[in-house]
Amino acid sequence: MIGKLQKADDRRLSILAGMGDRWRAVPKAWRVAVGCAFVLLLFALPRIYIPGVDEIIRTTKTDFTTVLFLVAMYVVVAVGLNVVIGLAGLLDLGYIGFFAVGAYTVALFGSPDSPLHGSKLATFMHTPYGWLLCVPLAVAVTMLSGVLLGWPTLRVRGDYLAIVTLGFGEIVRLVAQNANGLTNGQRGISDIAHPGGTWPNLLPGFIDENWVGLPMFGSATSLAWYWLALVCVIVCMFASRRLERSRVGRAWVAIREDEDAAEIMGVQAFKFKLWAFAFGAALGGLAGALYAGKQQFMGSNSFDLITSILFVAMVVVGGAGNLAGVTVGAILVWYLPERLRGIDFFGIELNTGEYRLLTFGLALIVIMTFRPKGLLPKRYRSSQPPLVEAHVAEEASA
């Protein structure tokens, strides 16, 4: 039975791969046009009604736009963690630590409620542009924390690195919880800065009439946040894609495949591993900054270990090393449980809230059993591994 299912699934996978090949064969102008149309559709998704599709994807128990925002934010996390796990092959179980550092940086510098408030720097940050000023700061601080964590620990390999990073994530969470002087402890920090601006009276019908004049990033709707997160996703994906195809990206893949061999060939493994850590951490910090701005409140409860492990799950389930794969993974891990909160499927109502995590766990086992390389695995042409390919291309152009 299982053998038959596996065969059917392999066939499905090869169809998927064939579609990918055909897509790559389409002229570039067409690909760009279709890509743009798809991105536009994504931007419009919360406010349009697509018959048939809408009933399937719209969440019934939670606000659909908020769920979309969260998914987009977690896609940023997935893209960042993909660099660490998928490209450089470093198992980081404490990625939530970077997310938390980013979120807390925004909270500390961009909130009148923070213990830092009153110091010159923090007051400067609490202006209408406070959040925008906080974001680069958050990214810089997380990058620094990535380097600080990586410097001593990246000498440790494999599973040992996993437990060290896990410890880091847990330490960050406990510090957030207990360092009352810094983070207000359990009480948390409220009233965190967010971008300014009000809804303009444009696009009637698309934007609700009662929103006009209300703050764009206020509590009325998450639409603006979703758009902002989507922009971040696109920028991060572009950056990650460029990096992946650069010398740095090739060094990462070489380290992942065989660290000793890479080192013998002249790749400074430690340096590039540190780079991967720093870049991954920066994206985690960016996602954290988005989260802090959206939530307007920062308590330590959002940073538990299980979330950190789910981060790893989304990268591996989707297909480590493949951007489309990790996006699918992020959607699966964060959207599916929300969708499963309540099923109202063409009149059939099911209250599945209690069983959503159970279903999710089963889904993890089934998916990994059938597709050990992830839902959308990274494909390398078997006769020409990517490194050789890149080399040949370089020589040809020289």
Partner 1 sequence: MHFQYWLDNFWSLSVGGLTQGAIYALVALGYTLVYGVLRLINFAHSEVFMTGTFAVITVWNLVGYDLNAGRPGTGMVIALLVLGLVAASLTSAGTALLVERVAYRPLRRKNPPSLVFLITAIGASVVLLETMGLLTERKLKGAITLVQPKEVFSFFGATVDNVQIIIIVSAIVMMFGLEQFINRTRLGRGVRAVAQNPDAAALMGVNRDRVIMLIFMIGGLMAGGAALLHIVKVGSTQYDVGFILGVKAFAAAVLGGIGNLRGALLGGLLLGLVENWGAGVFGSEWMNVVPFACLVLILMFRPTGLLGESLGRARA
Between CA 108 and CA 293, with CA 78 as vertex, the angle to 5 degrees is: 25
Q: Is residue 85 close enough to count as binding partner 1 by CB under 8 A?
A: yes
Only segment of 173-181, 197-205, 294-302, 385-393 that touches partner 1 (CB under 8 A): 173-181
* Count of CA atoms in the C-beta half-sphere (13 A) of 46: 22
Count of beta carbons in the 10 Å neighbourhood of residue 26: 11
Q: Which of 39, 116, 147, 175 binds partner 1 (CB under 8 A)?
A: 175
Interaction between residue 204 and partner 1 (CB under 8 A): no
Contact status, residue 102 vs residue 288, Cβ threshold 8 Å: yes
Stretch that binds partner 1, among 37-45, 236-244, 259-267, 308-316 (CB under 8 A): 308-316
Sites for partner 1 among residues 91-130 (CB under 8 A): 91
Q: Does 376 bind partner 1 (CB under 8 A)?
A: no
| Nearest of 246, 387, 236 to residue 326 by alpha carbon | 236
Report if residue 289 touches partner 1, rule: CB under 8 A: no
CA–CA separation, 353 vs 60, rounded Å?
11
Identity of the residue numbered 50: I
> Can you tell me which of 18, 128, 361, 385 binds partner 1, judged by CB under 8 A?
361
Contacts of 179 (CB under 8 A, 6+ apart): 185
The residue to which tokens 């010398």 are assigned: 247
Q: Is 79 near partner 1 (CB under 8 A)?
A: no
- Told to check if 360 binds partner 1 by CB under 8 A, we report yes
**Interatomic CA distance for residues 48 and 44, integer angstroms:** 6
8 touches partner 1 (CB under 8 A): no
Considering the rule CB under 8 A, would residue 176 count as an interface residue with partner 1? no
Select 324 or 364, whichever has its Cβ closest to partner 1.
Answer: 364
Question: Of the two residues 10 and 349, which places its CB atom closer to partner 1 in the complex?
Answer: 10
Interaction of residue 239 with partner 1, rule CB under 8 A: no
Sequence-separated (6 or more) residues with CB below 8 Å from residue 299: 186, 187, 188
What is the torsional sign of CA 203, 204, 208, 211?
positive
Select 45 or 172, whichever has its Cβ closest to partner 1. Answer: 172
Please report whether residue 320 would count as binding partner 1 according to CB under 8 A.
yes
Q: How far apart are CA 248 and CA 38, in angstroms?
A: 30
Angle, CA 284 vertex, CA 215 and CA 177 arms, to 5°: 85
Residue 167 engages partner 1 in binding (rule: CB under 8 A): yes
**Which residues make up the interface to partner 1 (CB under 8 A)?**
2, 85, 91, 152-153, 155-157, 159-160, 162-164, 166-168, 170-171, 174-175, 177-178, 305-306, 309, 312-313, 316-317, 320, 354-355, 357-358, 360-365, 368-369, 372-373
